[in-house]
Amino acid sequence: MKRGILFDLDGTLWDSGRQVAESWNEVLMQQPDVNHRVLTTEDIHSVMGLPMDEIGRRCFAGLPEERVKELLKACELHENEYIRQHGGCLFHGLEQVLEALKTDYVLAIVSNCQVGYIEAFLEYHRLGGYFTDYESFGSTGLQKGDNIRLVCRRNRLDQALYVGDIQADYDSACKAGIPFILAGYGFGQVAAKVPVIQSLEELPAAAAEVFRTYESATGEE
């Protein structure tokens, strides 16, 4: 039985809100046509998890669509480089938990981010060895539920679960037809009764219980 644990990135594995805000502010300060209000960490947290095109529409409301695309692309490129240089704030115990999980599960990341963002996360924090696969909205143009299915299929997973921190993550897991665990320490909430972890250290036990429940309900072993 080949099992996988798929992770959201922002609010689940780390918090890069401050670094993203700093990188975007550097770009926007150089744009004379943009009435620039300094973005805060809270501003970035409020849109994390959304597809990048939706983030652009929210952050640059009132600008023509083509200009929004230009600004978003500039911010994305600078953000990736900034993250490669500065990293983010890993949630407590991440590497130790990944080390414990990788012996029993295929580990992967599925995020709504741009191309290069997951790579910057893995590169700066030297975590690439723990993950078998990753996928993003920027790479495929697909919604998260479709990318979850893609990763499950690509890795020939018999069972999988998704760990995320906002309602859209839960909705995506439901769309993909796999169980969900809520990262209760993250940026959002879920309007459904789901397993919740308050720290990453709780994940191995929670994942094992989810898979036991799944097997009991389906008769699979």
Residue where the block lists tokens 């599960």: 105
Q: Dig out the tokens for 63 from the structure.
A: 């600008």
Same domain for 72 and 121? no
196 strand-pairing partners: 182
Last residue of a domain, one of 40, 56, 86: 86
DSSP letter at 39 equals P
Same domain for 122 and 192? yes
Same domain for 127 and 205? yes
Q: What is the pLDDT of residues 17-50, one digit of tens each?
A: 999 999 999 999 998 877 767 889 999 998 888 8
- Rounded CA separation 6/120 (Å): 18
Q: Are 89 and 15 in contact (CB under 8 A)?
A: yes
Beta strand 89-90 with 3-7 is: unpaired
Tell whether the model's pLDDT for residue 219 goes beyond 70.
no
- Rounded CA separation 81/94 (Å): 23
Which band of pLDDT confidence, cut at 50, 70 and 90, is reported for residue 221? low
Same domain for 74 and 163? no
Last residue of a domain, one of 57, 86, 115: 86
Cα separations in angstroms, 119 against 40, 56, 127: 24, 21, 10
HSE, CB side, 13 Å, CA atoms: give it for residue 176. Answer: 29
CATH code of 180's domain:
3.40.50.1000
Q: How many helices (H) and strands (E) does the chain have?
A: 10, 8
Total length of the chain: 221
Same domain for 11 and 21? no
Tell whether the model's pLDDT for residue 2 goes beyond 60.
yes
Position 58 scores a pLDDT of: 87
> How far does Cα 40 stand from its chain's mean position?
20
Domain count, the chain: 2
Q: What is the pLDDT of residues 136-173, one digit of tens each?
A: 999 999 999 999 999 999 999 999 999 999 999 999 99
Last residue of a domain, one of 86, 112, 146: 86
Same domain for 77 and 171? no
| 3-class secondary structure, 200 | helix
Residue 59, Cβ neighbours under 10 Å: how many? Answer: 19
Q: Dig out the tokens for 16 from the structure.
A: 């890069």
Same domain for 111 and 21? no
Average pLDDT over residues 191-215: 95
Same domain for 142 and 199? yes
The reported pTM is 0.91
Q: Dig out the tokens for 164 from the structure.
A: 């995320």
Domain with 53, as residue range(s), is 17-86
Same domain for 153 and 207? yes
DSSP letter at 5 equals E
Position 74 scores a pLDDT of: 94
Same domain for 11 and 66? no
Position 220 scores a pLDDT of: 61
Same domain for 96 and 155? yes
Share of the chain above pLDDT 70, in %: 97
Q: What is the pLDDT of residues 78-133, one digit of tens each?
A: 999 999 999 999 999 999 999 999 999 999 999 999 999 999 999 999 999 999 99
